[in-house]
């Protein structure tokens, strides 16, 4: 692994099914990550660490770094949230939001993370206020470019303006691979069919999506075919799962601080049928991206009603896919 | 998301308080991929055999600390952690009658990044011994 090449990591979010059911502990998640050959660890702090974003106890922190050494992995990214409406009937002021954000920066810093995934609802104004604090702690902040947003969406353009205006090295983008969903994830479609959606309408929506027809058109067409809510939900999959041309990342390459390797279902021959990973990785490599891509499995919620979820197997396949596409 | 794991039947029981059955209790998991402060629980609605019970009768027992509706709404620190089984105690004089019941649980979480409420529903057939 060279410093100038893309590195592989795993977001422990991927193991959420087993972690939720306490079939895997935090250490198990780290151990499984290491087994895939990945070297980076990402966490959703409020998932993996009780009490987050409070700074964990000294004992926990010591244990954490012991695990990092034992499994030969590195803390890469912590995913934060802003609970603007945490208190009933009160919406946070910017000052309150900034205070909450600072807690996450201190949390990330205590556990050795270098990047914070900024939740997409964070405003550009808050970013501007929090950047100096992130610079002091040498933490890079990355606004998550999560579908249905894409990197040139109006909201992202405003964040880009903050990056430009401040000239900071500590704020950029974290593209989520879910923003390159060329074909609708079948685990999502099939779940809605199990809940009663019309299979013919589902097939139509999948075809429209793959053709690149605008979601609003498809939603309108489906509203003429059916007046059932569940069929509309299928049509709306095309709005929430978006595809942008991967080439759109090129112009922003210097601002990409991290990448979320979202995936929904890996086949046994190491393909994610809904996302053209090879094309996106090509753009990232070509552009000289040298950060991490962290596997982020999100299929469990769509299949848990009918089958045992095997996140470990899914992540292994995803990591193998990254290797196959030249991410060592 | 996680709907099928919301109701934890193992802890189901009628609760006796000073020789009187004051209500019933069962375990519950938060249907979300992270823990949240108790204040973010907008609604916890329990139904038995299709009848919705008043929300102010639902008490949350988190690590041996009991919260009523008002206390829960004001609790910004204590959290319902991811995958954690907490107990729901429902004030209901006489408790549940012996035999099978259809237990319903609706949890509505206020989530800052969602423009709509995150409402998740679970139903389970339970048996009171």
A19: enclosing H helix or E strand: helix A16-20
User: Is the residue at A1 inside a domain?
Assistant: no
Per-residue pLDDT of chain A (328 residues; tens, 9 = 90+): 456 799 999 999 999 999 999 999 999 999 999 999 999 999 999 999 999 999 999 999 999 999 999 999 999 999 999 999 999 999 999 999 999 999 999 999 999 999 999 999 999 999 999 999 999 999 999 999 999 999 999 999 999 999 999 999 999 999 999 999 999 999 999 999 999 999 999 999 999 999 999 999 999 999 999 999 999 999 999 999 999 999 999 999 999 999 999 999 999 999 999 999 999 999 999 999 999 999 999 999 999 999 999 999 999 999 999 999 999 8
- What's this model's pTM, rounded to 2 decimal places? 0.95
Question: How far is residue B112 from each of residues A139, B45, B115, measured CA to CA in Å?
Answer: 23, 21, 8
Question: How far is residue A232 from each of residues A148, A192, A202, B9, measured CA to CA in Å?
Answer: 17, 10, 10, 34
Whether A66 and A207 map to the same domain: the answer is no
Are A86 and B110 a contacting pair at CB < 8 A? yes
Look at residue B115 and tell me whether its pLDDT is greater than 90. Answer: no
| Residues of A whose CB is below 8 A from B81 | 50
Whether A167 and A196 map to the same domain: the answer is no
| Residues of A whose CB is below 8 A from B73 | 88
Residue A193 structural domain: 186-237
| Residues of A whose CB is below 8 A from B112 | 81-86, 119, 121
ipTM of the complex: 0.95
Counting the structural domains of chain A, the total is: 2
Are B2 and A304 a contacting pair at CB < 8 A? yes
Whether A293 and A315 map to the same domain: the answer is yes
Whether A138 and A110 map to the same domain: the answer is yes
Are A121 and B83 a contacting pair at CB < 8 A? no
Gap from B56 CA to chain A (nearest CA, Å): 16
Q: Does B73 touch chain A (CB under 8 A)?
A: yes
pLDDT at A1: 47
Residue B51 structural domain: 3-128
Whether A259 and A123 map to the same domain: the answer is yes
Q: How far apart are CA B108 and CA B31, in angstroms?
A: 9
Q: Which of A60, A2, A65, A12 is nearest to A36 (CA)?
A: A12
Counting the structural domains of chain B, the total is: 1
Are A121 and B113 a contacting pair at CB < 8 A? yes
Q: Does B81 touch chain A (CB under 8 A)?
A: yes
**Of A237, A253, A269, which residue constitutes the final position of a domain?**
A237
CATH number for the domain harbouring residue B60: 2.60.40
pLDDT at B112: 87
Nearest CA in chain B to A188: B1
User: Is the residue at A2 inside a domain?
Assistant: no
Mutation to test the A interface, candidates B55, B62, B83, most A Cβ within 10 Å: B83
Q: Which of A19, A52, A304 sits opposite B4 (nearest CB)?
A: A304
Q: At what angle do helices A26-35 and A58-70 cross, to 10 degrees?
A: 20
């Amino acid at each position: 692994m060279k410093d100038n090449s893309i590195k592989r990591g795993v977001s422990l979010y991927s193991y959420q099914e087993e972690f939720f059911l306490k079939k895997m502990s935090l250490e198990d998640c780290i151990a499984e990550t290491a087994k895939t050959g990945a070297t980076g660890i990402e966490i959703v702090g409020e998932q993996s660490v009780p009490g987050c974003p409070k700074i964990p106890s000294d004992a926990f922190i010591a244990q954490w770094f012991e695990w990092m050494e034992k499994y030969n992995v590195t803390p890469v990214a912590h995913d934060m949230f802003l609970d603007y409406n945490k208190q009933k009937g009160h919406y946070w002021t910017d000052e309150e939001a900034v205070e909450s954000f600072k807690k996450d920066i201190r949390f990330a810093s205590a556990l050795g993370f270098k990047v914070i995934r900024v939740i997409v609802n964070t405003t550009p104004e808050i970013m501007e206020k929090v950047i100096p604090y992130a610079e002091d702690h040498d933490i890079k902040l990355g606004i998550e470019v999560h579908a249905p947003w894409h990197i040139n969406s109006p909201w992202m353009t405003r964040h880009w303006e903050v990056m430009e205006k401040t000239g900071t090295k500590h704020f950029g983008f974290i593209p989520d691979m879910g923003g390159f969903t060329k074909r609708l994830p079948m685990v999502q479609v099939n779940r809605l069919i199990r809940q009663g959606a019309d299979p013919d309408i589902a097939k139509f929506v999948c075809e429209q999506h793959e053709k690149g027809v605008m979601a609003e058109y498809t939603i309108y067409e489906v509203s003429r075919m059916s007046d059932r809510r569940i069929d509309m939900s299928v049509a709306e999959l095309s709005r929430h799962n978006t595809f942008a041309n991967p080439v759109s990342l090129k112009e922003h390459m210097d601002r990409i601080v991290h990448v979320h390797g979202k995936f929904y279902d890996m086949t046994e021959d190491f393909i994610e049928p809904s996302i053209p990973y090879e094309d996106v990785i090509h753009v990232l490599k070509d552009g000289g991206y040298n950060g991490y891509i962290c596997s982020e499995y999100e299929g469990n919620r769509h299949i848990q009603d009918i089958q045992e979820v095997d996140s470990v197997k899914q992540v292994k396949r995803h990591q193998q896919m990254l290797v196959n596409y030249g991410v060592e | 998301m996680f709907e099928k794991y919301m109701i934890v039947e193992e802890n189901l029981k009628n609760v006796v308080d000073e020789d009187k059955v004051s209500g019933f209790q069962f375990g519950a998991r938060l249907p979300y991929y992270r823990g949240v402060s108790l204040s973010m629980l907008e609604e916890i609605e329990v139904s038995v055999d299709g009848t919705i019970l008043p929300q102010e009768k639902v008490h949350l027992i988190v690590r041996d600390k009991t919260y009523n509706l008002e206390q829960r709404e004001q609790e910004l620190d204590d959290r319902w952690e991811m995958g954690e089984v907490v107990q729901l105690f429902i004030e209901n004089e006489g408790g549940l009658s012996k035999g099978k019941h259809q237990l319903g649980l609706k949890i509505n979480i206020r989530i800052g990044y969602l423009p709509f409420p995150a409402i998740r529903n679970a139903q389970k057939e339970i048996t009171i011994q």
